[in-house]
Structure formats: structure tokens, C-alpha cells
Amino acid sequence: MKFKALIVEKGEEKQFVREIRERSIDDLPPGNLVVRVRYSSLNYKDALSATGHPGVTRQFPHTPGIDAAGEVVSCENGAFAPGEKVIVTGYDLGMETDGGWGQYIRIPSDWAVRLPLGLTLREGMVLGTAGFTAALSVLKLEQAGVTPSDGDILVTGATGGVGSIAVSILARAGYRVVAATGKISDEGFLRQLGAAEVIPREQVTAGSDRPMMKERWAGVVDVVGGETLTAAVKSTRYGGAVTCCGLVGSIDLTLNVYPFILRGVSLIGIDSVQCPAETRLQVWEKLAGEWKPEQLAEMVTEVSLEGVEESIQAILKGGIRGRVVVTLP
């Protein structure tokens, strides 16, 4: 069986080239589950993989796409029936294993989750890894004891994929959300998602060189890292919690122990790749139900496989608002 996929491979002088080619099912890596992909998405990690970043992908030729949604073609161990709709996010998909930017994937069956009631395949990819990460961050804040009555929740990088969905989920859950962004012109978009206040990102980091900052946040969903995460921890209230899931600002974190031993602040790492199956199912059920963003249509741009190149360049420059869905008819 032949199908279409975007292939990344090494060119001359360590450059990486991308083109759409015809592939065969036999070309795919081993696995007991074959899925006909209908939708994928574009994440920052996909853009890194597509441009040859060794921290994401080292084996080429390669098909990126850490998210995929489609119908089961075959499942050798019987975990899924042919025709069942599934979502695949995380694990090794789109990293070293050929991913969702091809019309077919072959993977271990335990990487897949049945599409929950309340979501279409397309909506599953509007959410994708970004939505899953945002929801997992909110779940961890809840489990840390942060409640809507405790005060403001800061979301950094709020116009991006994770940030925009986090704003929507938190607002739906009853929290007062303060959205920080470098694109203050998108204030209307963020308020539409449920942000009660929109601030420039410089307001978050002002004074971050001090050992401690004024207490402001009951909780934080940080997708930036670096100085922004440092400032978020230093300005979180007593007993508050900060989740960390991103590194676009920097992989480095310069902190002292004061926020932890004087205010009891918790710093919680968010990993959507190896998240246990039980938690994964819990998060997807929430995203299909009480946490499903009402504004999914407003937060997505749809592109074909042929049109994904422009979006790759845009996301690397921080020029994407919301989510990008890749269609594979």
C-alpha cells in the first residue's frame, strides 16, 4: 500500500531538506498497530525535528509529527478493532519513530488512546500534545491544592498552543487567569479565551534579579522557561505551585532556595511524553468533557501537508497564535 508523507533528510553541508514523497507501509518501523492518519498538528518539537535538531531526532530520513488522529487499520494484539478512532500523542512518535505527517503510522498499540466521546478526530488534533500538556498542567495545579479562591493564575506564553489552551481550561474551571504574552496586540484573542487580565511578558520578569519578588500568583502554568520561570517562582504566593513544561526562553534556570523554604512554593515538572496510561486517559476524558475549550474553532489554523513548511518557519520565529492542524485526506 502506497501513501504520502513528508520526509526530512540530511542534505549537503549539514542542511536538512523536506519534501513530500510516496512511501509504503513496509517502510514504516515495527509495531502491532497500523493507523490511517486523518489529522496531525504542528508543535514546536515538530519544527525542531523537521529542521534536524539532534535533541529531538537523530535518525534520518524521518517523518515528523508527534500527534496523530485517525482510524485503526489493523491491530495484531486485538487491543483495537479495525475502524476504531484513536488519538496518539507522546511516547516516541515523530521523534525517532515516523510520525503523523504521513497518511499511515505503525506503532505499539499501547501508545494509542480511543477517541473519547465528545471529541472529533479534528478536535483531538486541535488539542493534541499542546492541549494534553495544558490540561495535565491544570490537573497538577489542582492536585497541589491550588483552588480558584486562592487568587490569580499566571499563564506565560499565552498565545502559543499550550498557553492558549491553558487559559481556556483554567477559565472554564473557575480560575481568574492572567495571561502574559509578547504579543499584546492579541489581547482580544486572549480575553475571548477567558483571560481576565492580559499583561506584557516584561511585567512578569521585572525585578527577577532580586532574591525574592512580591507575592502575586496562586499558581502558574509556565511554558517559557528561563528567566520567565525564575520570575514566576519568585513571585508565587505562599503555598502556591508552578508547573513547568517549556524551554523556548531558555533551558537554564537561575534560582535560590528562598521561594521553596520561606513560602513553600512547589515547582512541578510536566512531562506529556511518558505520562502513565491511567493519567493520560483521565486528562483526555476531561478535555472531551468539562475542560473542552469552547473556542476550539477560534484557536486553530488548518494547513495541508504541502502547506506546512510556512508554518514550520513561523513557529520557530514565535509567529504562531493558537494551534496548527495538519490535514491528511
Beta bridge partners of 250: 225
The pLDDT score that the predictor gives to residue 12 is 76
* Cα–Cα distance measured from residue 85 to residue 45, given in angstroms and rounded to the nearest whole number: 24
The verdict on 137 and 88 lying in the same domain is no
What CATH number corresponds to the domain at position 92?
A: 3.90.180.10
The pLDDT score that the predictor gives to residue 195 is 97
Neighbours of 317 (CB within 10 A): 9
The verdict on 138 and 88 lying in the same domain is no
The pLDDT score that the predictor gives to residue 322 is 83
Report the number of distinct structural domains present in the chain.
2
Residue 284 maps to a domain: no
Neighbours of 272 (CB within 10 A): 23
229 φ/ψ angles, rounded to the nearest 5 degrees: -65, -40
Q: With the C-alpha atoms ordered 114, 287, 100, 247, is the resulting torsion angle positive or negative?
A: negative
Per-residue confidence of the chain (329 residues) as pLDDT tens digits?
899 999 999 887 778 999 999 999 999 999 999 999 999 999 999 999 999 998 899 999 999 999 999 999 999 999 999 999 999 999 999 999 999 999 999 999 999 999 999 999 999 999 999 999 999 999 999 999 999 999 999 999 999 889 999 999 999 999 999 999 998 888 999 999 999 999 999 999 999 999 999 999 999 999 999 999 999 999 999 999 999 998 888 999 999 999 999 999 999 999 999 999 899 999 999 999 999 988 887 778 999 999 999 999 999 988 888 889 999 99
What CATH number corresponds to the domain at position 237?
A: 3.40.50.720
The verdict on 139 and 104 lying in the same domain is no
The pLDDT score that the predictor gives to residue 150 is 97
Residue 238 maps to a domain: yes
pTM of the model: 0.91
The verdict on 200 and 76 lying in the same domain is no
Residue 276 maps to a domain: no
Query: Which of 47, 324, 318, 46 has its CA nearest to residue 156?
Result: 318
* Cα–Cα distance measured from residue 251 to residue 229, given in angstroms and rounded to the nearest whole number: 10
The verdict on 104 and 23 lying in the same domain is yes
* Cα–Cα distance measured from residue 72 to residue 277, given in angstroms and rounded to the nearest whole number: 19
